[in-house]
Amino acid sequence: MNCRSEVLEVTVEARQVEEAMLALLHTILLHRSTGKFHYKKEGTYSIGTVGTMDIDCDFIDFSFVRVSSEELDRVIRRAVSEFKDALGNSGSDGMGQISLEFYQKKKSRWPFSDECIPWEVWSIKVNVVNLANEQERQICREKVGEKLGEKVINVVEVINRHEYLPKMPTQSEVDNVFDTSLKDVQPYLYKITYQITDSLGTSVSTTMRRLIKDTLAL
């Protein structure tokens, strides 16, 4: 199957990077998470309940909804924080891209390792700007808030096309489709990666950190 790829682009100030990324990543994950599956006999299962919470941004005039799961939030924050640091260290230009990839695992026979087949990739391109004075920052606050709103609408639009989604797995297959490591929610298997581009526009820095959320350790 083809992997669906969506690109979102945002221009933010350095201090807004974290919240902007959190807002978009959490919005996507909200739609790509379900409650915990509880398999019963005869191949049926019940699904747990997903709670939500409102988060207000401090540096952006924006609020978003995320899944009520502290574990998931911690993981996302860690990834975003690394991305932010990498962006900060790269240089004054500050261009980078963080990707959220949903994939399925396909078991292969030994000695081949499992295949990871992505079915949806969200790439968020970030452009960091430096602003001179407080007035510009205030305008930026509001503008970035509006832009993020537009991005949320884009995300919702894509998701509501109801294109390919992995089939609901049987109990034995559930770990190939879902991330079952969390206590309270169950997102689809995902990984977050990022790339920093320097001022030349090429990804010179080949620091491709992989934050693999599936069972990397075999």
Partner 1 sequence: MDSDLSPQDKKDLDKFIKFFALKTVQVIVQARLGEKICTRSSSSPTGSDWFNLAIKDIPEVTHEAKKALAGQLPGIGRSMCVEISLKTSEGDSMELETWCLEMNEKCDKDIKVSYTVYNRLSVLLKSLLAITRVTPAYKLSRKQGHDYVILYRIYFGEVQLNGLGEGFQTVRVGVVGTPVGTVTLSCAYRTNLAFMSNRQFERSAPIMGIIVDHFVDPPCGVQRPANVGHPCNYRAPDEDDGGLFAGVQDSQEVCTTSFSTSPPSQCVCTLSPSPSKLSKPLPLDSLQLPVAPGFVTHTLYTSRLNYHPPALAGAADLSHPAANPNQVLHAGKEGGVVLVPAHPHAADAHLTAEHPPNTPGSSGDDDGMSQSGEGRSVSPSDPVESLNAFTRKIGAFVNKPTTQMTAANLDLPFAAFAPRGLDSEENDPMVQPPDSPACPSPLQASLHSQGSESSGQQDDFVMVDFRPAFSKDDLLPMDLGTFYREFQNPPQLASLSLHISSQSMADDLDSLPEKLALYEKNIDEFDAFVDMLQ
Treating both helix axes as pointing N-terminal to C-terminal, what angle do 17-31 and 134-159 enclose, rounded to 10 degrees? Answer: 20
Residues facing 194 on adjacent strands: 98
Quick one: 57 or 87, whose CB is closer to partner 1? 57
Quick one: 135 or 160, whose CB is closer to partner 1? 160
Work out how close the CB of 90 gets to partner 1 at its nearest, in angstroms, rounded to a whole number. 31
Work out how close the CB of 128 gets to partner 1 at its nearest, in angstroms, rounded to a whole number. 23
Given phi > 0 = left and psi -120 to 50 = alpha, else beta, which region is 184?
alpha
Quick one: 69 or 90, whose CB is closer to partner 1? 69
Residues forming contacts to partner 1 in the complex (CB under 8 A) are: 27, 30-31, 34-36, 38, 46-54, 56, 61, 63-65, 67-69, 149, 152-153, 155-157, 159-160, 162, 168, 183-185
Separation of alpha carbons 128 and 17, rounded Å: 8
Work out how close the CB of 61 gets to partner 1 at its nearest, in angstroms, rounded to a whole number. 7
Separation of alpha carbons 190 and 213, rounded Å: 6
CA distances (Å), 79 to each of 85, 99, 123, 173, 209, in order? 10, 10, 14, 27, 10
Work out how close the CB of 7 gets to partner 1 at its nearest, in angstroms, rounded to a whole number. 19
Work out how close the CB of 159 gets to partner 1 at its nearest, in angstroms, rounded to a whole number. 6
Work out how close the CB of 124 gets to partner 1 at its nearest, in angstroms, rounded to a whole number. 16
Quick one: 9 or 56, whose CB is closer to partner 1? 56
Separation of alpha carbons 183 and 74, rounded Å: 13
Quick one: 58 or 110, whose CB is closer to partner 1? 58
Quick one: 65 or 116, whose CB is closer to partner 1? 65
Separation of alpha carbons 153 and 37, rounded Å: 29
Separation of alpha carbons 136 and 134, rounded Å: 5
